[in-house]
Amino acid sequence: MSKTALEKLVARFGPVVTAQHAQHGNETASIQPASWVEVATYCRDTLGFDMASDLTVVDYLGQEPRFEVVLHLYAVATKQRLRLKTRPPGSDGDDETPVIASLFGVWPAVNWMEREAYDLYGVKFEGHPDLRRILMYEEFVGHPLRKDYPKEKRQPLVRRPPAET
């Protein structure tokens, strides 16, 4: 049998792949954040993953580094899937926002996904052409899907004046 995409990735990058997992054809590779764009470009050009189907973030509150960026890839021709993960350094607080390189140059489709990840988790994508909030309003403070965002906290834009009947 020919080598799987994951095996090719490990053979090519070696220690850059810090962890790997494969089950029932579901392949996952954890990547060092410094090589994020390089690995992504290799996946697109050599392994044929021409479609970035999802990009999201997981918040591991209490761990260091705290956030993990997860990217799902799909190869249209071979119907293969690959999941890439990376943990950018930097942890809590809005000032210490974790920073990772944007993949906009590799797959333009990640444009809105990275904006969503920035909006809801506060992960900054360096090199993104237009990193603004996409779901929440501009007046919103903080990043609501972080595990330490208070569940009951509301940031209303408008409320009915109490005197009004």
Partner 1 sequence: MGLEFHTSRLADAVAWGRKYSLFQYPFVTACCGMEFMSTMAPKYDLARFGAEFPRFSPRQADLLIIVGTIVEKQAPVLRRIWEQMTEPKWVIAFGVCASTGGFYQNYTSVPGADQIIPVDVYIPGCPPRPEQVLDALVLLQERIQDHKGFSQVRLKAEHDKIISANKLVRR
Closest CA to 105 of 31, 9, 37, 43: 37
Nearer to partner 1, 93 or 156 (CB): 156
How far apart are CB 136 and partner 1 at their closest, in Å? Answer: 7
Assess 159 for contact with partner 1 (CB under 8 A): yes
* Stretch 114-143 residues interacting with partner 1 (CB under 8 A): 136-137
Minimal distance, residue 92 CB to partner 1, in Å: 18
Per DSSP, 146 falls in state S
Of 33, 65, 89, 144, the residue at the interface with partner 1 (CB under 8 A) is 144
Q: Give the nearer residue to partner 1 in terms of CB position, either 70 or 136.
A: 136
Q: For residue 123, give every residue at least 6 positions away whose Cβ sits within 8 Å of its Cβ, in sequence order, or none.
A: 57, 67, 69, 88, 97, 98, 99, 100, 117
User: Coil, strand or helix: which one is 58?
Assistant: strand
| Amino acid letter, 118 | Y
Q: Is 79 a residue that touches partner 1 (CB under 8 A)?
A: no
165 touches partner 1 (CB under 8 A): yes
The reply to whether 163 sits near partner 1 by the rule CB under 8 A is no
16: nearest Cα among 65, 66, 86, 67: 86
Q: Any contact of residue 155 with partner 1 (CB under 8 A)? A: yes
Question: Is residue 158 part of the contact set for partner 1 (CB under 8 A)?
Answer: yes
Does 95 participate in binding partner 1 (rule CB under 8 A)? no
Pairing of strands 26-31, 17-23: antiparallel
Is residue 157 at the binding interface for partner 1, with CB under 8 A as the rule?
Answer: yes
Distance (Å, rounded) from C-alpha 67 to C-alpha 164?
A: 45
Binding site for partner 1 (CB under 8 A): 136-137, 144, 149, 151-160, 164-165
